[in-house]
Chain A
Amino acid sequence: EAGVTQSPTHLIKTRGQQVTLRCSPISGHTSVYWYQQALGLGLQFLLWYDEGEERNRGNFPPRFSGRQFPNYSSELNVNALELEDSALYLCASTLVLYEQYFGPGTRLTVT
């Protein structure tokens, strides 16, 4: 069974640009979660999508947004990039209740 996949693996953007990250959940999972792990910090919850709807969002500004498609894949969009947005962005999906399974992440560097 394929795990959670994310693309791209790495990308470099300049301040002020916009970026879109993509995630495909494990087959059969309907919930997708996005987390940010900045350098030296723990994982911070960003967004939760379930059945195409945004269910919850973390303490991040509105320039962080996303959506979930009918096939349950998801996109995370970040507008007006700032240097502090440089981080590993992780996507997860659920198989058994609370247990979230993570993808390999997308490393975003903002210069």
Chain B
Amino acid sequence: DQQVKQNSPSLSVQEGRISILNCDYTNSMFDYFLWYKKYPAEGPTFLISISSIKDKNEDGRFTVFLNKSAKHLSLHIVPSQPGDSAVYFCAASVGQGGKLIFGQGTELSVKP
């Protein structure tokens, strides 16, 4: 049972444009959501997070939006840069300190 889903395995965007990565979840008990960026053969790097009591969180070029009624999460990267090319994972958690449940990842390619 895949509780966190990233339905797009890949996304290609032109440098300078907006990248939008999407994530859907099924468990309404999730109370915290995170986005990670991962390069091949490296561990995931934490990017940005959002609590379920909020609907938006911004950090520089990265903004995460949460739509609880739709059980949908998205990450916006503006403007996109070639260095953003990586696999992006969304993750969700129930309760403090617990495990993270990850989506399958979306590979972002930003073309110069």
CB within 8 Å of B: which residues of A?
4, 6, 31, 33, 35, 41-45, 48, 50, 55-56, 58, 88, 90, 92, 94, 97-105, 107
14 residue pairs from A and B, CB less than 8 Å apart: A35-B102, A41-B104, A42-B102, A42-B105, A43-B100, A45-B99, A50-B97, A55-B97, A98-B93, A98-B98, A99-B46, A102-B36, A102-B46, A105-B42
Nearest 8 pairs between A and B by C-beta?
A102-B43, A45-B99, A43-B102, A98-B32, A42-B104, A42-B102, A102-B44, A98-B93
CA distance A102 to B34 in the complex (A): 13
Interface residues on B, range: 20 to 34
CB within 8 Å of A: which residues of B?
32, 34, 36, 41-46, 49, 89, 91, 93, 96-105
Closest to B2 in A: A42
CA distance A81 to B42 in the complex (A): 23
Closest to B104 in A: A42
Do residues A102 and B97 form an inter-chain contact, with CB atoms below 8 A? no
| Contact A90/B49 with A42-B102, A43-B89, A99-B34 known, Cβ cut-off 8 Å | no
Q: Which of A6, A41, A42, A92 has the most CB of B within 10 A?
A: A42
- List residues of chain A with CB within 8 A of the CB of B41: 88, 104-105, 107
Closest to A95 in B: B46
Do residues B43 and A103 form an inter-chain contact, with CB atoms below 8 A? yes
CA distance A103 to B89 in the complex (A): 16
- List residues of chain B with CB within 8 A of the CB of A6: 43
